């Protein structure tokens, strides 16, 4: 069928045509945001899950939902090589300029912009990547000490006071939060904790890989009491089927039930993979309904596409020793696996592999579900590793 009319949207953060199976979580976040606006006790929300489960899509949809109710937001994606102050400052400036147009909040929003100017100037020496336009001169003594934990707390308190005066809230939406350095996470947690104590309408809706829970706890021991950590997993069978069949039906195209079931099985219900299989099944089919044979062709095309993009872009960042470590994991199956079993496959001591394991965790390739366990952060990556390193050269 015509690929131009395909409803499927495989892509990093691309919104699917049918956001199936996430209504309960969206409602939970909506309630939390409204409580924040009203100054009621509320935990910030940090969604955790593997790659390809739709965390970025959910984060953007939740932000759209919040802005539709008059909430002021800022959106950040944290890369591995930027500081949190550098990411936060320009986005916060834009949000405060919008808030300053609220007549009730104008004066306090302008004070928050002065606090932001002091924040940026005070931390410029320590965080040289801060680049932000300054609309007001700093107010001496306001968020300008040059100490991140102190200054971020003062800045967000000032921002919260302006939002409160305007009858709204300031929500930070931060993706890939696991890449933020621990000292910066600690400062953010402290600032949010202080805002919560003062009942100021400032909160964080974030997303990250599963190791984010542990990183937040390491940064501040009370983080578990300040945040909810809902797990974003693969979709249950019916929701996964809906994600495929409903967008097609909207275009007048049906899936044979057996074909839809096969896609759910092949993709394990992971939203990104569902979109990839849906796209290729649509293109393989000659007419409605899409059949099991069409899905067979689609599977070969989808796997090839994933190998060249979704999987390969991660594989190419790895050193030879890291590739061998992941290949040994793949040899054991999907996982999780004991570190000792991986070391045995490589005929190495567990301690000697510690640096490689730590680097793979830092790169977001693996995580530790429990002490001594190791798991892939990318679904189906074990199958990819066996395809791309099929021989035994990785073995000692």
Residues 217 and 250 both lie in one domain: no
Which strands form 366-367's sheet, in the order they lie side by side? 337-338, 373-376, 366-367
Position 366 in a domain: yes
Band (pLDDT 50/70/90 cuts) for residue 371 is confident
Quick: pLDDT tens for 227-244. 999 999 999 999 999 999
pTM for the structure as a whole:
0.90
Structural domain boundaries, residue 295: 3-13+235-308
Same domain, 155 and 49: yes
Q: What is the pLDDT of residues 121-164, one digit of tens each?
A: 999 888 888 887 778 899 999 999 999 999 999 999 999 999 99
For every residue of 74-105, DSSP letters joined together read EEEE--TTS-HHHHHHHHHHHHHHHHTTSTTT
**Burial degree of 184 (CB within 10 A; 0-12, 13-18, 19+):** buried
Q: Answer whether residue 211 is part of any domain.
A: yes
Q: From 170, 201, 228, give the residue that closes a domain.
A: 228
Same domain, 33 and 140: yes
Is-cis flag, bond preceding 289, omega within 30? yes
DSSP annotation of 143 reads S
Q: The domain that contains 167 carries what CATH number?
A: 3.40.50.300
How many structural domains compose the chain? Answer: 3
Indicate whether 220 and 321 sit together in one domain: no
Flag whether pLDDT at 215 surpasses 80. yes
* Same structural domain, 219 and 357: no
Query: C-alpha distances in angstroms, 389 versus 312, 324, 381, 393?
Result: 12, 9, 12, 8
Confidence of residue 12 (pLDDT cuts 50, 70, 90): low
- Of 308, 332, 361, the position where a domain reaches its end is 308
The CATH number that applies at residue 304 is 1.10.8
Q: Are residues 304 and 317 in the same domain?
A: no
Stretch 236-262: mean pLDDT: 94
* Mean pLDDT value of segment 187-201: 96
Answer yes or no: do 240 and 352 share one domain. Answer: no
How many CB atoms are closer than 10 A to CB 197? 10
Instruction: Pick the more confident residue, 275 or 18.
Output: 275
Residues 140 and 251 in one domain: no
Evaluate whether residue 396 is within a structural domain. no
- Assigned domain for 395 exists: no
320 and 301 inside one domain:
no
Specify if 394 maps to a domain.
no
The pLDDT tens digits of the residues spanning 297-321 come to 999 999 999 999 899 999 999 999 9
Residue 163 near residue 38 (C-beta atoms within 8 A): no
Given this model, what pLDDT does residue 20 score?
Answer: 86
pLDDT band at 24 (very low <50, low <70, confident <90, very high): very high
Shared-domain flag, residues 166 and 28: yes
Average the pLDDT over 316-329 and give the result: 96
Residue 149 in domain? yes
Contact 259, 295 (CB under 8 A): yes
Residues 60 and 47 in one domain: yes
pLDDT of amino acid 159: 97
Query: Do 126 and 260 fall into the same domain?
Result: no
Q: If DSSP states are collapsed to H, E and C, what string results for 266-330?
A: HHCCCHHHHHHHHHHHHHHCCCCCECHHHHHHHHHHHHHHHHHCCCHHHHCCCCHHHHHHHHHHH
Integer angstrom CA distances of residue 253 from 81, 164, 291: 45, 49, 11
Residues facing 171 on adjacent strands: 73, 203
In the predicted structure, residue 13 carries a pLDDT above the cut 70:
no
CB atoms within 10 A of CB 376: 23
Cα 263 from Cα 109, distance rounded (Å): 51
Pairing assessment for the beta strands 337-338 and 373-376 based on DSSP bridges: antiparallel
What was the pLDDT predicted at 380? 93
Is residue 275 left, alpha or beta, with left meaning phi > 0 and alpha meaning psi from -120 to 50?
alpha
């Amino acid at each position: 069928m015509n690929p131009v009319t395909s409803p499927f949207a495989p892509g990093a953060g691309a919104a699917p045509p049918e956001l199936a199976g996430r209504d309960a979580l969206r409602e939970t976040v909506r309630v939390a945001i409204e409580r924040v606006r009203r100054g009621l006790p509320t935990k910030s929300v940090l969604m955790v899950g593997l790659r390809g489960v739709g965390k970025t899509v959910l984060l953007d949809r939740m932000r759209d939902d919040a802005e539709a109710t008059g909430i002021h937001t800022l959106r950040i994606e944290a890369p591995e090589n930027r500081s949190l102050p550098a990411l936060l400052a320009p986005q916060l400036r834009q949000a405060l300029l919008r808030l300053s147009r609220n007549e009730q909040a104008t004066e306090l929003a302008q004070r928050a912009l002065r606090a932001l100017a002091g924040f940026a100037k005070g931390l410029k020496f320590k965080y040289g990547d801060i680049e932000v336009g300054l609309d007001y001169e700093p107010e001496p003594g306001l968020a300008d000490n040059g100490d991140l934990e102190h200054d971020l707390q003062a800045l967000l308190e000032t921002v919260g006071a302006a939002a409160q005066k305007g009858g709204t809230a300031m929500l930070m939406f931060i993706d890939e939060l696991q890449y933020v350095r621990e000292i910066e996470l600690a400062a953010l947690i402290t600032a949010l904790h202080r805002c919560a104590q003062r009942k100021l309408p400032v909160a964080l809706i974030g997303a990250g890989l599963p190791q984010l829970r542990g990183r937040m706890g390491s940064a501040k021991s009370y983080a578990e009491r300040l945040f909810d950590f809902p797990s974003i997993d693969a979709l249950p069978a019916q929701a996964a089927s809906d994600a495929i069949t409903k967008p097609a039906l909207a275009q007048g195209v049906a899936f044979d039930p057996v074909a839809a079931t096969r896609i759910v099985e092949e993709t394990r219900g992971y939203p990104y993979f569902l979109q990839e299989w849906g796209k290729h099944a649509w293109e393989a089919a000659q007419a409605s309904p899409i059949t099991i044979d069409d899905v067979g062709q689609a599977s070969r095309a989808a796997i090839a596409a994933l190998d060249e993009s979704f999987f390969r872009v991660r594989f190419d960042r790895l050193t030879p020793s890291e590739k061998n470590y992941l290949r040994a994991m793949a040899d054991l199956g999907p996982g999780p696996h004991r570190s000792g079993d991986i070391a045995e496959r490589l005929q190495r001591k567990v301690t000697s592999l510690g640096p490689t394991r730590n680097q793979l965790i830092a790169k977001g390739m693996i995580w530790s579900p429990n002490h001594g366990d190791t798991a892939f952060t990318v679904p189906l990556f074990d199958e990819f590793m066996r395809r791309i390193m099929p021989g035994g050269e990785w073995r000692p």
